[in-house]
Amino acid sequence: MANSDNKKTDRRKFFATTLQSVGLTALGGMLWSGYTNEVKASPLVLRPPGAIKENDFLSACIKCGLCAEACQNRETNRDKETGLAKKGTLKMAKGGDHRLIGTPFFIPTEVPCFMCEDIPCVPVCPSGALDQLSVSNDKGELDINKASMGLAVVHKESCIAFWGIQCDACYRACPLLGEAITIEMHRNERTGKHTFMLPIVNDNACTGCGLCEQACVTEKPAIFVLPNEVSKGKAGDHYVKGWDKEDEKRIENAKAEETTTERSNQSSADYLNSGDLY
């Protein structure tokens, strides 16, 4: 009798402990998931060239820092007098940076990306978070002009060129001079004898290196790089450039979607009789 009582309490204890362990694990898992989900939400971050889509990047990056080390220690980053490495472009996110800890990023106003031809940061990536193919040309050679780290955006209200003051700092700083940023001329009606020389960013050429942002003369840069996910819109399949053969290919696989709503004869009569006629 005593023995079976013992067994009973043993069994009860076992179930209670198991339940508690599982419950606490579930609690921990939920808190952990919630926290992890929060810390990965930082859309305003510029990644190294060749970075795969941000959401995949956050999962793929193993946070080793080889890219940042390659960036800092590249030949072109040596101080001419001391021979020591200067501060590199890529930083590794640390606590307080408000970016997923341990992932590489850069801030153009501090150190922009100088678009090295040999792209030292990309081939060293062991995990595949930086995709070498995305910054290679058809011959398989590295081509930094294919990088798309972000897109420069001009805020025309604070850009002094839009005021009519002559400034082409961003245009001249651009490594793809005349391609990524072009100058558009307009007559200045206010003075009647001057020209507006407006910087226009061309999405298909801009790599998002941020040299323009760093060069901008205004107190807070009027041209700045935003990540592609934030800076770019999307026309979708509803609008097509009918004059462009390439663009038409975009809708080859689009499915026609028809929505017809049965027209109600009653509703028009109801509307007149409902008394809501003001």
Side chain identity, residue 238: H
Side chain identity, residue 17: T
In whole angstroms, what is the distance from residue 191 CA to residue 90 CA?
45
The correct pick among 45, 58, 167, 170 for binding another protein (CB under 8 A) is 58
In whole angstroms, what is the distance from residue 47 CA to residue 210 CA?
12
Both structure tokens of 86: 């200067």
Residue 120 within binding range of another protein, rule CB under 8 A: no
Residue 223 within binding range of another protein, rule CB under 8 A: no
Residue 59 within binding range of another protein, rule CB under 8 A: yes
Nearer to another protein, 52 or 205 (CB): 52
- Mark 115-141 as b/e (b = at least 16 C-beta within 10 Å): bbeebbbbebbeeebbbbeebbeeeee
Number of residues engaging another protein in binding (CB under 8 A): 43
Binding to another protein by CB under 8 A, coded x per residue (else -) over 79-118, reads -----xx-----xx-xxxx--xxx----------------
Both structure tokens of 164: 């009519």
Q: Minimum distance between the CB of residue 208 and another protein, rounded to whole angstroms?
A: 23
Q: Which residues bind another protein (CB under 8 A)?
A: 20-21, 24-25, 28-29, 32-33, 35-37, 39-40, 55-56, 58-60, 62-66, 68-69, 72-73, 84-85, 91-92, 94-97, 100-102, 124-128
